[in-house]
Amino acid sequence: MERAFSDLDRDAGLEIAERSHQARQRVQGSSYFYGELDLKAQLEVLARAGARKGGVFVDLGSGLGKMVLAAALPGVFSECRGVEILPELHESAVKARGALLADLAGRGLPPPSEVSLRCGDMLREESVADADVVFVFATCFPPEVMSSLETKLSEEMRRGARLVLVSKQLAGCCADFVPFGDNNGYLSVGQTHSKWNLDCFFYVRA
């Protein structure tokens, strides 16, 4: 992972996202920023979410693709998908995927799960109907985006599927989702290049 993202740390991702958003706004609002978990936190989240052999992982708003690739590396999921609305972030993620695959092959290591990265609107262009684990880094999502996201998840996610939300909790109207795991579905996780942790909430579709 480190080799694939050697020149794509959090600051690089933030710079790409800000530059892209300033050039042409694709979402409402003026504060559209990039965030990511550090590798230790990514692994903690994936372990708690409970990867199922042959399952499907989906990251809505996948940025540089780090969470998607972290989910794919162990080869447990059959497919790991990410959708990102900013083309520049998406293009960087695709390059990183290529670098990771080449690095694994060059060292004779087994390939990861199938990885699919696409550029598009997570609310309209990526179904989560087949997902076993859905991950959303929602730190900077405004209320209107969260409302649309909650509607999408309620309509599409199947029973038993798990949802991981960073920095946001589902509104009380989402009765179809219940917290799971220790601390009533709560985990404090680290973010890259920051001394501050982020709140992470785990739900299962009832």
Number of domains in the chain: 1
CATH number (domain holding residue 100): 3.40.50.150
Residue 76 in any domain: the answer is: yes
Q: Domain range for residue 95? A: 10-205
Mean pLDDT of the 56-69 span: 94
Separation CA 78–CA 181 (nearest Å): 24
pLDDT at res. 130: 98
Residue 127 in any domain: the answer is: yes
Residue 95 in any domain: the answer is: yes
Residue 3 in any domain: the answer is: no
Distances (CA, A) of 102 to 1, 68, 108, 116, 122: 11, 17, 10, 16, 28
Residue 169 in any domain: the answer is: yes
Residue 119 in any domain: the answer is: yes
pLDDT digits (tens, 9 = 90+) for 151-189: 999 999 999 999 999 999 998 767 899 999 999 999 999
Separation CA 126–CA 83 (nearest Å): 7
pTM of this structure: 0.86
Inform me whether the pLDDT recorded for 199 exceeds 50: yes
Separation CA 194–CA 123 (nearest Å): 29
Counted residue by residue, the chain has a size of 206
Residue 4 in any domain: the answer is: no
Report the percentage of the chain scoring pLDDT > 90: 60
User: Quick check: helix, strand or coil at residue 2?
Assistant: coil
The tokens of 51 are what? Answer: 């990867």
Q: Which of 156, 149, 162, 100 is nearest to 121 (CA)?
A: 149
Q: Which of 138, 130, 122 is nearest to 79 (CA)?
A: 130
Separation CA 98–CA 125 (nearest Å): 23
pLDDT at res. 3: 56
Residue 37 in any domain: the answer is: yes
